A and B are shown apart, each in its own frame.
Chain A
Amino acid sequence: MSTSSTASSSTTTQDPSTQSTGSPGAGSGRATRAKKKGRETRTAGTKPTTTIIVTALLVIVALYFLVPVYWVIVNATKSTEDLFGTNGFWFGHTFQLFSNIGDVLTANGGAFPRWAANSLLYSGVGAVFATYFAVAAGYALAKYEFPGRNAIFAFVLGGVLVPGTATALPLFLVFSKIGLTNTYWSVLIPSLLSPFGLFLARIYASAAIPDEILEAGRIDGASEMRIFHTIVLRQLIPAIVTILLFQFVAIWNNYFLPLVMLADEKLYPITLGLNNWRAQTDRLPEFYQLTVGGALLSVIPLAILIIVLQRFWRGGLTEGSVKG
């Protein structure tokens, strides 16, 4: 009985996210139509001229957001000569995208692929564990009564407000005492913590997990850990996806922490590595082309990821704020 209620409520929680893509399935189809209808009642009074003006405005804004990405795509195809000799908004005389990318991948003995792998390692491993820990703790704070519960939450909330860079410097001192600086661990360990994830997980868990499900599990004789791993985690999937994404992007974008911790170029994430190349453009102009190509390679996968996963991102946050 508890399984059937779990299944049905988990489909309803995910419905909002299927709106834009219209994935097949009776449940989501109905939701799409209902949503469309809601949209139309609000569209009813809109004049076509308003639509044109608003859309034109949105296009102009979109150009602003896409210009740097467009520039890097166009200029990654150029030779160093064309990079400076031709207008940056259009292609040059030669098209050497593939040899440029080949250069990026092989320069410095394959440094770039290594940085990319490091970034993936830091962000992937960091995000998975940080999410697991944050969700477990957030759920505990939301669904258990115990002394000190509010104090812990207030304490962690304070942690959300402390700038990451303020802790990075003293963390460097701690890590250098125990010999962890300039290792993978020095970047990984701080990445395992997501106070913001706990914050989201707590809001979401208190709204999305009915006490009855937990009680039913307990009556069936399941242990608390088993209830968490089998029932709760499934209910929290939208929140989990959101926290995972947040943390992945946060670690991927982090610059200060690896800058402080790492000295060995082999351990660098993409951000540090690419900036290293850029810093050399003053003396060696060929590094311009490497930096442009490297920027393209690091932007494209994340851009795709962001666009594909955007709907999960929204779905997760919305649910939390609706009920929280």
Chain B
Amino acid sequence: MDLVLQLLFTGIGIGSVYALVALGFVLIFRATNVVNFAQGEFSMVAAFFMVMFSVKLGLPYWLAFIVSLIGMGVLGAVFNLAVYYPLRHRTYLPVIISTIGASILLANATLAIHGPEPEVLSGWFDTPGFLVGPVYLDSQYLLIIAVTALLVVLQYWFFEHTLLGKKLQATSQDKEMAALLGIPVALMIMVTFVYSAVIGGLAGILVAPVLFVSIHMGATIALKAFAATIIGGFGDVTGAIIGGLALGIIETFGAAYVSVPYKDGFAFLVLVAFLVFRPQGIFGERVAEKA
């Protein structure tokens, strides 16, 4: 029983990271109808920013954190201008291919600049964690869970109760109509990319102390997060969060009770199972193209 609780905690922690990255997926998908295959690389790049500013340049942790997130915002803007925006009138296929190209570029440019050695990033708190009853609560995992919960609440408030949020929603539902109503669609898409890069980066920085910082972390996280969005129901924010948490838990228990080397395979098996039996996910929206 103690082990189960312990695993549950870890699962929710790691699942929160997937949920954060999945949120980035969902936001860009809703704004542009395109899946951004470089979403995971945002997390990886942010983690390397953090290593650069905090470990290499010796900035205080909080300052390095802020500078890294600003850097991610800039990256999101550049990404939009170079990878998505010129292709906005083409079908989804060139855009997918273009974001895949960007993902490879980001991962390998980081490798070329930094080199292949993985880095270790310390956590936010000095106290590594504490025991509550039989369960050891890792402080970084607690932080991850707290930040994710906070972001979800903030995001809900932002989309439902602010004008900018409403404009973003309008853009994602019908770009032409939004443009006719005077909403600057290009700017809204830009905001979406910047915001998605920042929360993707946030996820990367938060998870970095738990994993190693390596150029491979982006691809792994992105695949899991994508699986999470499918499990939750594509384009659904709540679904992405529940899907992410579910996946984190499944994976942690799978590694503990089934097999460690195949830990990364569970996500894909769950993904395929969902695609076959319930492609619309838990909070199913339509998946078919409109006639």
A and B associate in one complex: no
